[in-house]
Amino acid sequence: MNSHPTSKFDRQERLTIWDQSLIEKSSVIIIGIGGTGGEVAKNLALLGVGKLILVDMDTIEYSNLNRQLLFSKTDIGKNKAKVAKKVIKSRYNSSLEIEAYNEPIQSLPFKIFEDSDIIAGCVDNFLARQYINETAVELPLSLIDSATDGYFGQVQSVNPSNNACLACDSPPPPEETRVLSAPCTLVGTPRTRDHCAWKALYEFHTLNDREPDENSSDDIQKLTDLANKLAAKHQFPIFDNKDIIQSVLYRVPSLITVNAVTSGIQSQEIIKTLFFNKMKDLKKKDQNRMKSLVQTYRFRVPDLTIYSALTGNISSFELFRDPDCMVCGDTSIFQQTPVTININPNSKCRTIFTVLKRKFKKNYIGFRGNFIIPNEALVKNVLQDGDRLTASSLTDDEEKRVIIRFKTKKG
């Protein structure tokens, strides 16, 4: 009779290219704990990743229960990240270090990203995806992003400044496949008609401090008007209400099998990327052994993988960085070294923005650099030490990156 293996991870440790110690030393931040994010969190916990940071501000709804296996009926109305943390720890891996955040990613302390080894993007909305992409490029940090839409799933790997980011204009993959990520940049002039709709959505958010309600004809009209203002200005065909719903308010259909395949692919690419990124921490001898295995087995992380549940095809593609990309391109604001401004810790937000506006003679200030919005809208935000902002002018679209540092730690 065989003796019992001593390690819970015995079966995976038997694999040729595997180093459990690298995985155990890794920290992954998962944004969005829904259909795919919940699965990714469960997979990574079972694989023995050392630390997970779960971020989701949504609450659990009845219609989530058919595919989000971390949640049950008694959890309805509770926060997804918090429940997932409890369930994963008790059910799958009690030694896992795990943190849960119930807030918009834009207000997470930046340090959480800085301390992570990789970002897993599992969100279903454009604004969050854009923020994640920009954060990955700025740090830089590897990002493995996923999206699903009905019978289709895709996983994109962003290795900043080496391959395409989510905002790069890459040549489209072949006809029969679909790229699901929305265009990712709203900075500057809208380049397509869809950008006008996305910009309008963002403006709606800024003006009303909430998402538009897809069931409110009033909200949809407001959104259409905002988009048409931009479409007219930039000479794109105008939108009717139906176009707007289709462009930005469309709730995608979702299938548990597609979620499972997509999150499986995403989890695997996360593990491989961790191997690649952490290989340098190994002893020289082990490093060389790993490198030769990587070559022999043609171990690689594809830029884009697309799964079609209709045909059963899984295809992978190369995506090239666009040197003119507004996020990762050579002249992008995210490539600039930020100007650090020291400010008295007791200053009010309004004062800080007035200082910035005067210093840069800029009309628009973006909070944490994610968007360019009128500074008045930011007055009620609370700044934290080390926050990143952008200052931009309405007339020339030129932007400057700024980091706010408080002179002494806020009490």
Name the site residues for Zn ion (rule: CB under 5 A).
Answer: 165, 167-168, 325, 327-328
Angstrom distances, CA of residue 299 to CA of 13, 157, 178, 288, 396 = 17, 15, 25, 15, 45
Smallest separation (angstroms) from Zn ion to the CB of 62: 38
Query: H helices then E strands: how many in the chain?
Result: 12, 13
Q: Closer to Zn ion at the Cβ: 189 or 340?
A: 189
Q: Closer to Zn ion at the Cβ: 136 or 352?
A: 136
Smallest separation (angstroms) from Zn ion to the CB of 325: 3
Q: What SS3 state is found at 187? A: coil
Beta-strand pair 399-406/304-308: unpaired
Smallest separation (angstroms) from Zn ion to the CB of 295: 28
Smallest separation (angstroms) from Zn ion to the CB of 257: 31
Beta bridge partners of 97: 51
Q: Closer to Zn ion at the Cβ: 198 or 406?
A: 198
- Can you tell me the distance from the alpha carbon of 19 to that of 21, in angstroms, rounded to the nearest whole number? 5
Q: Which two tokens stand for residue 238?
A: 């105008």
- Can you tell me the distance from the alpha carbon of 176 to that of 162, in angstroms, rounded to the nearest whole number? 27
86 with 52: CB under 8 angstroms?
no
Smallest separation (angstroms) from Zn ion to the CB of 45: 31
What interhelical angle do 35-47 and 80-91 show, nearest 10? 30
Smallest separation (angstroms) from Zn ion to the CB of 336: 15
Q: Closer to Zn ion at the Cβ: 32 or 160?
A: 160
391 with 328: CB under 8 angstroms?
no
Residue of this chain nearest to Zn ion (CB atom): 325
Q: Closer to Zn ion at the Cβ: 84 or 187?
A: 187
- Can you tell me the distance from the alpha carbon of 374 to that of 378, in angstroms, rounded to the nearest whole number? 7
Q: Closer to Zn ion at the Cβ: 253 or 323?
A: 323
Helix intervals (H) in 149-255: 193-208, 217-233, 241-244
Q: Closer to Zn ion at the Cβ: 213 or 324?
A: 324
155 with 266: CB under 8 angstroms?
yes
Q: Closer to Zn ion at the Cβ: 186 or 328?
A: 328
320 Cβ neighbours under 8 A, 6+ residues apart: 163, 164, 168, 170, 171
Q: Closer to Zn ion at the Cβ: 23 or 184?
A: 184
Smallest separation (angstroms) from Zn ion to the CB of 177: 20
Angstrom distances, CA of residue 122 to CA of 56, 104, 298, 359 = 10, 14, 27, 38
Smallest separation (angstroms) from Zn ion to the CB of 338: 19
Smallest separation (angstroms) from Zn ion to the CB of 274: 22
